[in-house]
Amino acid sequence: MDKVFIEGLEIDALIGIYDWERRIRQTLRFDLEMGFDNRVPAASDDIADTLNYKAVSKRLIELVEQSDYGLVETLAERCAAAVLAEFEVRWLRLKLSKPGAVRGAQAVGVIIERSRDAG
C-alpha cells in the first residue's frame, strides 16, 4: 500500500490538564502517514483522483482549533477517527507532538496507528 504523508503540520490548540495550560493555546505538531492506492491518480494525472492532503490538513486544523481536550491521547484519537471517516484512507499512522512539555525534551506525545478494519 502506498503512503501519502503530511509532516510537521503545526496547529495551536487549547490542551492540557493543568490550570495554566487551560489559559493559553499551545502549538502542537502533527505528522501523518495515510494508506492510499496512488496507482489511479498516477495513471490519470488528475488531482480529483488523489488523496487531497490539503483537504486533510484543513480538516485537522479545523478540528484541533475547535477542540478542548485535556490529553493529547484523546485529541489524537479524534483526529484519526475524523480522517478515517471523511477521507478514502485505508489506514493511518498519526504522531502528535507537544513541544516544550517536558524540560530537556524537544517534544513528547503519542503515535497511534488505526485502520478501517481494526478501528
Fold of 3-115: GTP Cyclohydrolase I, domain 2 (3.30.1130)
pLDDT band at 33 (very low <50, low <70, confident <90, very high): very high
CA distances from residue 2 to 29, 53, 70 in whole angstroms, order as listed: 23, 14, 34
Single out the catalytic residue among 54, 58, 95, 98: 98
Q: Which of 36, 91, 95, 109 is nearest to 60 (CA)?
A: 95
Kindly state the average pLDDT of the residues 28-34: 98
Kindly state the average pLDDT of the residues 70-75: 96
Kindly state the average pLDDT of the residues 68-76: 95
pLDDT at res. 105: 84
95 classed as catalytic = no
Average pLDDT, the chain: 94
Rg over alpha carbons for the chain, rounded to the nearest Å, is 15
Degrees, nearest 5: CA angle 75-80-83: 125
| Whether the predicted model's global pTM rises above the 0.75 cut | yes
